[in-house]
Amino acid sequence: MSMTETHAPSEQQAETEALLDVRNIEVIYNSVILVLKGVSLQVPKGGITALLGGNGAGKTTALKAISNLLKSERGEVTKGQILYRGERVQDLVPSELVKRGVIQVMEGRHCFEHLTIEENLMTGAYTRRDGRARVEEDLDLVYTYFPRLKERRRSQAGYTSGGEQQMCAIGRALMSRPETILLDEPSMGLAPQLVEEIFGIVKDLNEREGVSFLLAEQNTNVALRFAHRGYILESGRIVMDGAAADLRENPDVKEFYLGMSDEGRKSFRDTRSYRRRKRWLS
């Protein structure tokens, strides 16, 4: 399935152990709408893995399938397996998964509007049983990564800016002491330099705190700069995957996802045939 066989040396070590292993899953909404048609992907320990694709490709669905948030939207994993550290996790409730170290930051941030920033962060520690002192320590840690949140700790989240809300959502997830964060479209609706800032923090968290990320993004360009590996999802199927550096250089990715073209394939027909070819390959 892999389109690229070469891996940059820096990715080698990140790939030693697959924390999260999604095997050929199919997801159906409302018992009729088939959205994921056999998706497989691995998230290695200590890496940032990007899941790329356009609107409606199924990125959010894939993330929710993993975090088990599908059920409350009447979605269901009907085929395939989801393993975390080799253990089947798809029948667990979300809180169990959070306790095992997997937490999702939802698309559109979803802060608790009427709670203050600090209260929002504290809800992230809901499942923890390791005592107040530890939680306070982590709160300080979150504030060192997001100094802006500290300034706004007493503001109602609903009245903070989009960027602050995104930071709040990530900070809230951090408060659960996660091993893996499923981060859904953090760049959504944010100014480019804010996107850079947030991705920079994600990278720091990854390198210094050892948090692994599965990052769903439409913004292929930024995501591939910060990620180690990438998967490209199209209409519910993975059509390509490989090291981020390779994907960035791949002519097809350049053309269809990065908006660059060096081969001059512009016509609609070419696109179509390319897409069809990719689907059969996957």
Ligand X SMILES: Nc1ncnc2c1ncn2[C@@H]1O[C@H](COP(=O)(O)OP(=O)(O)OP(=O)(O)O)[C@@H](O)[C@H]1O
User: Which residues sit at the interface with ligand X, rule CB under 6 A?
Assistant: 29-30, 33, 35, 53, 55-61, 73, 75, 107, 218
107 binds Mg ion (CB under 5 A): yes
Q: C-beta of 61: minimal distance to ligand X in Å?
A: 3
Provide the token pair at 124.
Answer: 């992230």
Q: C-beta of 136: minimal distance to ligand X in Å?
A: 35
Using DSSP bridges, classify how beta strands 75-84 and 48-52 pair: parallel, antiparallel or unpaired: unpaired
For 225, other C-beta atoms within 10 Å of its C-beta total 15
Residues across the chain: 282
Per-position x/- string for 24-53, each x denoting binding to Mg ion as judged by CB under 5 A, each - no binding: ------------------------------
Nearest residue (CB) to other proteins, 85 versus 99: 99
List contacts with other proteins (CB under 8 A). 67, 69, 71-74, 93-95, 97-99, 103-106, 108, 110-115, 119-120, 122-124, 126-127, 156, 158-159, 161-162, 165, 172-173, 176, 189
Give the count of residues interacting with Mg ion (CB under 5 A): 3
Q: C-beta of 94: minimal distance to Mg ion in Å?
A: 18
